[in-house]
Structure 1
C-alpha cells in the first residue's frame, strides 16, 4: 500500500526585534503580515532572560492581549568563548527554562561557543561536546528542546561538525536550527554540503538568504543560500514546524522595511513550492478573568500581611512530611488551647491530593507531571546530577511511593532516641498514615513469590508496608484519600482547630535574639519582605533548603549542611511466565528489608503496581510479565558529603544557591556490589531472568540523587561537633529553633525514610508542647 504524502503546514515566526525595540510596534508589523508567533530575543534592547519577573509578566500580558505566542526563547547561551567560564551559562539556562515554560514553548535557541580566531576548530571539539552535553542533560530533565544556531563564528558552522556534535550527543532535546544564510556566510553551501548531513537533526528553521561573494543578507530567494531547494526538501521531509524570519540576523538593528520585504519574499517562495503556512490568525477572544486565588476554595489561606500582625506560638516552615506531621500533632494536642499556629510554604497549590488518587493518572502521566512541576537542584551537577526539588503544598509527598517500613533496630540503637520511644512514635505515625501490609494481599504474584523467598531462606521477606487507607467508607470519614500525602495531615489538622497557612512565601532568614529564635523573615513573590514572629520555629523545608536557610541566617554549627546521605539505588528488570500465576494476578509488592548483617533492602514490584514505569494493555493476555527489582544500599554518613553556599550565585530572593558535594565511599561501593550480586542471585533462584530494556543494562546503578531519600544535613545527636540538633530536633545553641524533616535523621540504614521522618516530627511537636 502506497502511503499518501501529507502536505506540511508551516508556522511562521519572526525575530521581531529587527523590526523595532518596542513590543507593540513589533506586534503591529507582525499582525499586518498575519504572523502571530515570535522568537523572543530582545525587548527594549535587552535579552529576555535578563529581564525582571515584573517585566516578563507585563510582556506576557501584552502578547496575550493581542493573541501572540512565543515560538522560542532566543538566548545567547553558548555565544561566549570556549575558554570563558561555563558556570554562568547554567544559570542562564535555568532562567531560559523558566521563561520557556511560562511562555509555553519547548524551544530555546543556543550557540556552540566561539573558537579562538585562527585556531583549529577540532582542537576544541571535546570541550564543546562536554558543555553541550551538560546543557542537554538539564534540557532532558526539564523537558525543553535546545536548538543550536549554526551561526558563522561558532563551532557548529558546517555540516560535518554539526553532524558530529548532534550525532554524538544523540538527544531529542538537542536539535539544529537550520539557517541557510549562516552556512553561506561560512562558505558552506547549505543544501549540498550541510543539509544531507544534518537533516535528521533539524527541528527549526531560521530563514534568511545571503550572497556568497559578499556575505550580504538579502530577502529569501535573492541570494545563494539555495532557499528553493531547502523548501522543496522540507516539503519532501513533510516538515511541520516553525520557519522563523530572521531578516538580517543582526539582533536589535531595527529595519521594518527590510522585514516586510523578507516576509513577503518568503511567502512568495512558500506559495511557489506549494507549502501551506498558517494565515492570519485573529486576536484571541477575551476570556473571563479567573482570580489568581481561585484555588483557595479547597483550603483556607492567609496573607503574609495578616500573618505579620500575629505572634505565633509555633511557626512551621514547609508543608511536606515533617512539617505536615508537626502541624497535625500540634493541632491535635492544642484543640482546646488558645495557641496560635502558622505554617508557610514556598511553593503554591499544585494538587489537593496524592497524585495517585487522581483517576486520570497513570504512571507515565504521573512521571511527566512530577518533572513538569519539580525542578533540578541548582548546584547539583555533576556529583548529584538527578536530584530534584518540589516546592508545593504537600511537597514531595504528592508523588512519593508510600512504601513505609520502620528503620532497622540495629540502626536506631545508635541514635540518641531510645528504641522504646521510637516504637511509640512509629505506632502513632503508622496509625495516622494508615500504613498497612495488606495492599497486595490476595495477589497470586505476591503470595507465590513471597512463598518462594521464604523457602530460599528469607523468612523476613514481607508484603510492602504501604501508606494507604484500605478501609471502607461506611462511616463517611472526611479524609477520603486512599494514598497518603501531607495534604491528609493538613486536612486532619484543619478539622481539629484553625491555623494560618500562607503559600508562595519564601523563608529567607531565621530571626534570632540572644540565642533564641524569635521568627522568620519571609518574602512574597513580588519581593516584599515580612517578619513573622514566633516563640518556636520549626524548619521542615527539606534536606537541602533547611541547612541552606540556617547557613544563610548565620546560625553556626559544625555539622549543619554536612553528613548528606542517600541510599544507593540499583534497578533491574526480569521476566516471568504468566502461567506461574494461575489465579488473580493482583499487585506485586514484596520487601526484603535490610538487617544488621545485610546493608541493603530489595523490593520486587510488578506491572500493575502503583509506581510501575510501564503501562500494559490487556495484561491478562500477556505471555510474560515484567518484574522490577529495586535495591537500596546503605550509604555511610560522612562529614565530607555536604551542601555549601555558593557566594557567587544568588537566587531571585538574594539567597546564595547551594553546591552539593557527594560521593560514594569504598564501603558504599562494596554495598553496591553486594546489592547487585544479591539481585542477580535472587532473580536466578526465583527463575526470573534479568532482561535488557530499551537498550539499558539488565541491572544498573542509578545516578546519585535519583532516589529521593536524601537526609542527614541537620542530623540529631548529643555532640554538637557531629550533629546539628539535640535529641528533640532543637538546633544546638538556639532555643526555640527546631528541625523536622529528612535532614534531622542521624543515618538512613536501608529503609525508606518518610515514616521515620514523620515519627520524629510528631515527637518534636510533643516536646514543643511540653515546653509551653
Structure 2
C-alpha cells in the first residue's frame, strides 16, 4: 500500500467502502467500519481543521467553517428573502456540522417514529411511518450517547448552570413546567473519553478549541485513522456516483482541491453529505438506467425536505444576565415536546437556551430591520437572555432540493436550490412557542421580548427518506437504496419525519446501526 497526504495507508480500490462526507453519519460510519477491519475511503469536500485552527471571532470563524458554495433558496419561507444564498448554516470541513453543533442530545420519542399512525392525515403533509421503531433504535441510542458522552446519561454528570439557564429555568418553574435541565448535551462536565471538561467558554458554534464538545473530527476520524484502515481525503468534492452494467454502485468520481478529476472504485458507496448535498450528488449521478437521478425510481429523491420549526426569543431585563458566559446552549425545557393537538398543532417542540455574540445577534435578530426597536435589542445585550424553539415540521413533497441549472458552483456544476414553504402546522407551533417563551420570561421580570425569525437551517433533514415500500421513499430501513445495489445513504436525509429533537444523536445511532449491518453483510458476502 502507498500512503496518502496524511501519511495513512491507502486501501486497495476494490477493498474500500467509499464514504462521502465525514460528519455525524459519515464520520461515525468510518470509525465503526474501520474498527471492524473494513478499509474505507472518506471523501470530504472541506479542509481538515484542527482545534488550534479555529478562529476566535464569530464572522471570521463563519467564513472559515461554513458551507459557502453557491446555493439558492426559494419558496415563501423568510430565509429565502433574508438569506437567499444561504439556506443552511452548516460546515464544510472534516467533522462536518458536528464541529458547529450545540451539543444537544435528546432522543426521538416512540410516537415520532409513527407519525402517520398517530397524527392521521394532515392536509398538505406527506406523513409516513418510519420502517423502524424506537425499540429498534434504543440499543444504538445507548451506544451513541456513550460515544458522545451525553450528560445526564449512563452516569454522566450534568453541566453546571449558567445565568442564561438560571433565568430560563426559573421562568419554566414559575409557569408550571416540570421537565427542564442543563442537558442532555455532548459537552463534558468532567473529563471523559480523552476529552477535557468544559471551561464554560461558550460560542463553540465556531468550533471548540478545548475539545470538551464531541465531534467526529475530535473522536471518530482520528480513531479511524489510527486503525490504518482509513484513507481520509479532505478537499475532495464528490461529483458523481457511478454504477456498472447491472446497476450496482461501483465508484465515486471526485474533484481534488485543484479541480483534477479522480475515480475511486468502491465495494459499496455510502453517501453522507447532508440533506442538501446528498440528493444533489444523487441527482447529478443520473444515467441511462436512472434518468431522473440515482435511487429516484420513487420520484421522492430531494423531496420532503425538513429543517425543523424554529424561532428565537430574546428577553430584556433591568439587570445583567450575560448570556454569553458559559455554554452557548446550556439547557432544555421538554414539557412541550409531546403530542397534544389541543394546542392547535400536531407534534411537539423543545425550548433550548441560546446565546449569540453581538455581531451575530445584529445579523440574525431581525434581518433587514433598523431604527429604535432594532437598536433597543442591541443596546440591551448585557441584560439579555435567549432561547431557541425547535420542533417537528411537516414533510411536504413540494419542499425539496433540486438542481439549479442556471447557477453553477466553483466547479461548473449546478448549484442546489432549497425550496421551502411553511406548513400551517409549522406556523401554529412557532407562534405557540413564542407565546410560551414570552410567559416564561415575563414570569421572572422581563421588561420586553423580541421574536427572531428562523435562521438558515442547521437541522437539515429528509430528501432521501426511509420507507418500507420502494414507491414511498429512497432507502430501506438500513439506509440502503431501494433500487441501487451497493448504495447507502448515511446522514439526516434518511429521516422519514423530523421529530422535535435535535437530530445529531439519532444520526449517530442510525450510522452505528448501519455499520453493523454493512459489516455483517460484507462478512457473509451478501454485499
TM (norm. structure 1) is 0.52
Q: Give the conservation status (yes or no) of the 8 Å contact 1:354–1:484.
A: no
In structure 2, distance between residues paired with 1:474 and 1:757: 20
Give the structure 1 partner of residue 479 of structure 2.
Answer: 729
Q: What is the deviation of 1:371? A: 3.0
Q: Give the conservation status (yes or no) of the 8 Å contact 1:716–1:724.
A: yes
Residue 20 (structure 2) pairs with residue 317 (structure 1)? yes
Q: Give the conservation status (yes or no) of the 8 Å contact 2:28–2:512.
A: yes
Could you list the per-position Cα deviations for residues 518-575 of structure 1 after superposition, in whole angstroms to 9, with x for gaps in the alignment? 1212222343332211111110112111111111112133111100101232122113
Residue 230 (structure 2) pairs with residue 499 (structure 1)? yes
Give the structure 1 partner of residue 113 of structure 2.
Answer: 412
Could you list the per-position Cα deviations for residues 559-609 of structure 1 after superposition, in whole angstroms to 9, with x for gaps in the alignment? 11100101232122113455999xxx966722113222262221134689x
Could you list the per-position Cα deviations for residues 41-79 of structure 1 after superposition, in whole angstroms to 9, with x for gaps in the alignment? xxxxxxxxxxxxxxxxxxxxxxxxxxxxxxxxxxxxxxx
Q: Give the conservation status (yes or no) of the 8 Å contact 1:607–1:626.
A: no
Question: Using a 3 Å threshold, how does the CA distance of structure 1 residues 405 and 476 change in structure 2: closer, same or farther?
Answer: closer
Question: Using a 3 Å threshold, how does the CA distance of structure 1 residues 300 and 690 change in structure 2: closer, same or farther?
Answer: farther
Could you list the per-position Cα deviations for residues 10-66 of structure 1 after superposition, in whole angstroms to 9, with x for gaps in the alignment? xxxxxxxxxxxxxxxxxxxxxxxxxxxxxxxxxxxxxxxxxxxxxxxxxxxxxxxxx
In structure 1, distance between residues paired with 2:192 and 2:176: 39
Give the structure 2 partner of residue 679 of structure 1.
Answer: 437
In structure 2, distance between residues paired with 1:744 and 1:354: 33
In structure 2, distance between residues paired with 1:607 and 1:528: 39
Give the structure 2 partner of residue 517 of structure 1.
Answer: 249
1:657 corresponds to which of 410, 415, 424:
415
Q: What is the deviation of 1:382? A: 4.3
Q: Give the conservation status (yes or no) of the 8 Å contact 2:253–2:262.
A: yes
Q: Give the conservation status (yes or no) of the 8 Å contact 1:311–1:533.
A: yes
Q: Give the conservation status (yes or no) of the 8 Å contact 1:690–1:699.
A: no
**Count of paired positions:** 441
1:235-384 aligned at under 5 Å gives the runs 299-300=6-7, 310-334=13-37, 339-349=38-48, 351-353=49-51, 361=56, 365-376=57-68, 378-383=70-75, 384=80
Give the structure 2 partner of residue 93 of structure 1.
Answer: none
Q: What is the deviation of 1:442? A: 5.2
Q: Give the conservation status (yes or no) of the 8 Å contact 1:311–1:532.
A: no
1:195-206 aligned at under 5 Å gives the runs none
Residue 429 (structure 2) pairs with residue 702 (structure 1)? no
Question: Using a 3 Å threshold, how does the CA distance of structure 1 residues 448 and 710 change in structure 2: closer, same or farther?
Answer: closer
In structure 2, distance between residues paired with 1:378 and 1:623: 33
In structure 1, distance between residues paired with 2:62 and 2:167: 33
Give the structure 2 partner of residue 461 of structure 1.
Answer: 180
Question: Using a 3 Å threshold, how does the CA distance of structure 1 residues 367 and 599 change in structure 2: closer, same or farther?
Answer: farther
1:647 corresponds to which of 401, 405, 411:
405
1:106-121 aligned at under 5 Å gives the runs none
Decide which moves more: 399-408 or 644-653. Answer: 644-653
In structure 1, distance between residues paired with 2:462 and 2:192: 39
2:92 corresponds to which of 382, 386, 391:
391
Q: What is the deviation of 1:628? A: 0.3
Give the structure 2 partner of residue 532 of structure 1.
Answer: 264
Give the structure 2 partner of residue 423 of structure 1.
Answer: 138
In structure 1, distance between residues paired with 2:314 and 2:195: 41
1:690 corresponds to which of 436, 448, 466:
448
1:466-481 aligned at under 5 Å gives the runs 466-472=185-191, 481=211
Root-mean-square deviation (CA), in Å?
3.3
Question: Using a 3 Å threshold, how does the CA distance of structure 1 residues 665 and 328 change in structure 2: closer, same or farther?
Answer: same
1:542 corresponds to which of 265, 269, 274:
274
Q: Give the conservation status (yes or no) of the 8 Å contact 1:469–1:481.
A: no
Residue 339 (structure 2) pairs with residue 596 (structure 1)? yes
Question: Using a 3 Å threshold, how does the CA distance of structure 1 residues 476 and 625 change in structure 2: closer, same or farther?
Answer: closer
1:572-591 aligned at under 5 Å gives the runs 572-576=313-317, 589-591=330-332
Q: What is the deviation of 1:376? A: 4.0
Q: What is the deviation of 1:441? A: 2.5
Could you list the per-position Cα deviations for residues 301-346 of structure 1 after superposition, in whole angstroms to 9, with x for gaps in the alignment? 67xxx67x62234111111111101011112233xxxx32211112
Q: Give the conservation status (yes or no) of the 8 Å contact 1:603–1:630.
A: yes
Give the structure 2 partner of residue 254 of structure 1.
Answer: none
Q: What is the deviation of 1:485? A: 1.7
Q: Unpaired runs of 5+ in structure 1?
A: 1-294, 615-621, 692-697
**SS where residue 425 of structure 1 aligns?**
helix
Q: Give the conservation status (yes or no) of the 8 Å contact 2:302–2:463.
A: yes
In structure 1, distance between residues paired with 2:301 and 2:185: 32
Give the structure 1 partner of residue 119 of structure 2.
Answer: none
Could you list the per-position Cα deviations for residues 266-311 of structure 1 after superposition, in whole angstroms to 9, with x for gaps in the alignment? xxxxxxxxxxxxxxxxxxxxxxxxxxxxx96xx5467xxx67x622
In structure 2, distance between residues paired with 1:684 and 1:455: 10
**SS where residue 543 of structure 1 aligns?**
helix
Decide which moves more: 544-553 or 456-465. Answer: 456-465
Give the structure 2 partner of residue 253 of structure 1.
Answer: none
**SS where residue 15 of structure 2 aligns?**
strand
Give the structure 2 partner of residue 28 of structure 1.
Answer: none
In structure 2, distance between residues paired with 1:675 and 1:344: 40
In structure 2, distance between residues paired with 1:508 and 1:606: 37
Question: Using a 3 Å threshold, how does the CA distance of structure 1 residues 689 and 600 change in structure 2: closer, same or farther?
Answer: farther
Q: What is the deviation of 1:348? A: 1.9
Q: Give the conservation status (yes or no) of the 8 Å contact 2:305–2:420.
A: yes
In structure 1, distance between residues paired with 2:263 and 2:381: 63
Larger Rg: 1
In structure 2, distance between residues paired with 1:403 and 1:476: 17
**SS where residue 306 of structure 2 aligns?**
coil
